[in-house]
Structure formats: C-alpha cells, structure tokens
C-alpha cells in the first residue's frame, strides 16, 4: 500500500502544474507587431522622413514657379513731382535656364531720367533671356529639383531601414520575453514536482520505509528551486517591462499585464510575420537592399553636383531680347522697337571652379568605395548568419535528444528508487541534469529566434 502511494505521488509529480487551469490570455506576435508598426513613436518617425522629402521636393519645384514683381517709386518735393516710376513684370522660368518675361512700365516726372521715359499709355514688353554657356544644360534650379526627386527615393530607403530597426528591437524584446516566461514556467513546474516528492517522502519516512535524511535532501531541492524561480520571475518582470516599451495605442504607452502570455511555436510565426526566407538568393537581396539603394542614391546626388560644378567652368554668356510697344500697339509688331541684352563674364584662372569639381569627383570615388565595401560586407553577413542558423538548428536537435535521454534516465532512477536500489540524492541529481538540458534547449531556441530576426535585419526587407 505504501509503495502504491509513492508511485501515485511520483506520477502526480509528472503532471504539468497548469493541466487543470483555464487557458490564459495570449498576446500573439502578429498582434504585437501590428501595434508596433502602427503606433510606436519610432515607427511613426520613420514616416516623417518620407513626408520631409516630399516637402523638400515641393520646395525645389517652387524654383520654377512664375513670379510677379511690382516696383513703384515716387518723389514729391515742394509741390514738384520729381519722378513717379512704376515697373511691373511677370517672369516664367523654364527647365533649361531660359526665362520668359512680360513687363509693363509707366514713368513720369519733372526730373525723370530720359532713358526711363515711357509713352503716356505706358510701355509694354515681352522678351526672353537665354544662357548660351553656363546655366543652359544645368543650373542650380535644375539641380535642386533633380536632387529633391532622388532624395525622395533616398528617404524611402532610410524609412525602410529605420522601420527594420524598430521591428528588430521589438521582436527581440518579444523573443526574450518568451524565453523568460519559458524559464519561469519550467522552474515553477519542477518546484511543484519537488514539493510533491518531498510530501511523498515525508509519508514514507513516517511509515518507516525511508531514512529521515531523505527529507533534508528533498527540502534542499525545494529551496534551490525556489531560488531559481525567484530569479526567473525577476527576469520575466524585467522582460515584460522591456516589451511594454513597444506597446503604444495612439500616443498612449501601454503596460503588459502580468497574466498575459507569449505565443508558442514562434519560429514559423515570426518568418511569416516578417515575410522573409532563409534561402532567398543573395543577388535578389542585394539588388533591393535599402542600404545599398540609399548609397546609390547618394552617388547619383553627388553626380548631379559634379555636373553642376563642371558647368561652372563655362563662362557666363546670357543673351536677352525684349520686344517693346505701347499696350495698344501689341497687335502690330514692329521689329525696330526692342531692347537687347548681352552679359559676359569668366574667371581667368578658374581655380575655385576646378577645385570644386575635383572635390566633387573625390566624393563620388569615396562613396563608390563605401558602396563596394558595404555590398561585400552584407553578402558575408548573410552567409555567416545563415551558417549560424543551421548550426543552432543542429544543436537544438542534439539538445532535444539529450532531454529525451535525461527523461529516460530519471524515470529509470525512480524505478530503482521504488525497488530500494537508489536514493533521493540520485533522483534529484538526474532531475537537475534534466532541468539543465531543458534550460539549454530554451536558450538555444531563443538564440535561433534571435538569429532569424538578425537575418531579417541584415536583409532589411519589410515589403
């Protein structure tokens, strides 16, 4: 009867502590990641990068906006109107530096400069100004617009990189929370086993079947399990608070409830949620990698600046022609009424311009070297991370086999104990080895998930 009682207690020890509890609430990884992407401040800041680039593009396009100008000057002194000058113009800048201008002037006064004299009805003009050398094929206005368009693509890559960093940090926090939860659950389970075993041993001691020293041995195990559980619960609390840093709704930070549990079988869930494959070809990854695309965009921007610096080597030669007429005569073109302009200037040594062009070339060379280096580093990082994942998977397989072996050894030791050929010390020793192997399995599973997330960060693909 006593032996049957102890067998029953041992079997009871093997039942999970939560077997008859209600299923608690689970925070799924997809739900958590959805909150992060939508509400986390860092994720929302990433969206601001794109908005800023769009605003800069709008500013650059403003360089081609038509412009209306009005200038009025009037001087009266001692009842005499010295002059009254009214000049207005409407300018339309075009892509190739050509500027179309329409104007209307009306000037009068006793001391008016003769060259400013206009007909009584005013003087209308319509003309065009063309840069024939510097500023024709490229100018600052054109360069700003082209750079702003590339900056928009650059901001998309930078936004993607920032979003990847946020997702990586949040996922790492979730994975570490699951590890802390699994460890705490394991210690809680084996503390329950130790307490039930100690209760069974106490009854056997009272019945005279076991020595009193076995009770001390059982209580030592309980205290060690309690210490382990307290430490694991502390880690769980810290990991839960760390995870809460990524839980936001609108602008309100949220705190994870203590009763909330992580999702099981995370490996496949994470890969589906993050939308990446371990075996994706490196060529495809590198071709669309946002960091490489951002560096290529920077090289394109430097190329535009180089074109602008090269254009500065040309002399300035601007030619302008403006047809002049009274407003009522605009319909009757007279070729003799016009204003012609010719502006020319050129530095003699071009040292400033040649130096600026050389610096622009050096910047492109430097950025191209960085791009080549980054491409090789990314390729090697991907290979190294994939190798690490395979190695961890092999270690998990070996550890799972060890766990199975230790479980068999513990069961065998318990049978020997029932036959009087073993001791509580040996059972506890076997169980400690089993707990250690299960902790190793939890740690390796955590490493595997972290490695998967690290591979996602290296590939940086959120599409």
Q: What is the pLDDT of residue 121?
A: 87
Gap between the Cα atoms of 213 and 198, Å rounded? 12
Q: Show pLDDT as tens, one digit a residue, over the chain (463 residues).
A: 444 444 434 444 444 444 334 456 889 999 999 999 999 999 888 888 888 899 999 999 998 999 999 999 999 988 888 999 999 999 999 888 899 999 999 999 988 888 888 888 899 999 999 999 998 889 999 999 999 999 999 999 999 999 999 999 999 999 999 999 999 999 999 999 888 888 887 887 787 777 777 788 888 889 999 999 999 999 999 999 999 999 998 888 888 888 899 998 888 888 888 877 766 777 788 888 999 999 999 999 999 999 999 999 999 999 999 988 887 755 666 667 889 999 999 988 999 999 999 999 999 999 999 999 999 999 999 999 999 999 999 999 999 999 999 999 989 988 887 777 777 788 888 889 999 999 999 999 999 999 999 999 999 876 6
Residue 326 has what pLDDT? 83
In this structure, are residues 236 and 262 in contact, taking their beta carbons and an 8 Å threshold? no
Domain spans of the chain, in order of start: 2-61+141-306+354-459, 67-136+316-347
Tokens of 449: 């998930």
CATH superfamily of 2-61+141-306+354-459: Outer membrane efflux proteins (OEP) (1.20.1600.10)
- Residue 399: per-residue pLDDT: 95
């Amino acid at each position: 009867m006593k032996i049957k009682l102890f067998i029953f207690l041992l079997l009871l020890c093997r039942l999970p502590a939560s077997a008859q509890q209600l299923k608690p609430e689970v925070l799924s990884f997809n739900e958590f990641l959805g909150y992060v992407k939508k509400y986390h401040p860092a994720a929302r800041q990433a969206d601001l990068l794109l908005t800023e680039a769009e605003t800069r593009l709008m500013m650059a396009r403003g360089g081609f906006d038509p412009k209306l100008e009005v200038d009025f000057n009037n001087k009266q002194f001692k009842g005499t109107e010295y002059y009254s000058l009214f000049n207005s113009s409407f300018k339309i800048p075009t892509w190739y530096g050509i500027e179309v201008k329409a104007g209307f002037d009306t000037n009068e006064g006793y001391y008016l400069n003769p060259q400013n004299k206009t007909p009584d009805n005013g003087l209308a003009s319509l003309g065009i100004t063309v840069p024939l050398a510097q500023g024709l094929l490229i100018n600052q206005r054109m360069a700003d617009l082209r750079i702003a368009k590339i900056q928009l693509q650059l901001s998309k890559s930078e936004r993607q990189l920032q979003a990847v960093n946020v997702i990586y940090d949040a996922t790492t926090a979730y994975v570490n929370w699951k590890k802390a939860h699994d460890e705490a659950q394991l210690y809680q389970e084996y503390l329950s086993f130790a307490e039930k075993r100690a209760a069974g041993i106490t009854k056997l001691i009272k019945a005279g079947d076991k020595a009193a020293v076995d009770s001390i041995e059982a209580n030592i195990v309980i205290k060690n399990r309690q210490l382990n559980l307290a430490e694991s619960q502390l880690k769980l609390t810290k990991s839960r608070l760390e995870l809460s840093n990524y839980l936001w709704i609108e602008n309100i930070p949220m705190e994870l409830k203590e009763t909330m549990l992580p999702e099981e079988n995370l490996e496949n869930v994470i890969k589906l949620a993050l939308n990446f494959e371990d075996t994706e070809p490196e060529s495809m990854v590198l071709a669309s990698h946002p960091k490489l695309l951002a560096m290529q965009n920077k090289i394109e921007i430097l190329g535009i600046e180089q074109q602008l610096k090269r254009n500065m080597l040309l002399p300035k030669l601007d030619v302008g022609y403006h047809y002049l007429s009274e407003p009522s005569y605009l319909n009757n073109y007279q070729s003799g009424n016009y204003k012609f302009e010719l502006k020319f200037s050129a530095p003699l040594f071009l040292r400033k311009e040649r130096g600026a062009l050389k610096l622009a070339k050096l910047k492109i060379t430097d950025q191209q070297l960085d791009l080549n280096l980054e491409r090789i580093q990314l390729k090697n990082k991907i290979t190294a991370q994939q190798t690490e994942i395979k190695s961890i998977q092999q270690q998990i397989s070996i550890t799972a086999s060890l766990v199975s072996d230790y479980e068999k050894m513990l069961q065998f030791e318990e049978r020997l104990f029932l036959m009087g050929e073993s001791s509580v010390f040996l059972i506890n020793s076997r169980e400690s080895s089993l707990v250690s192997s299960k902790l190793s399995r939890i740690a390796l599973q955590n490493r595997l998930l972290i490695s998967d997330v690290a591979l996602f960060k290296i590939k940086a693909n959120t599409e």
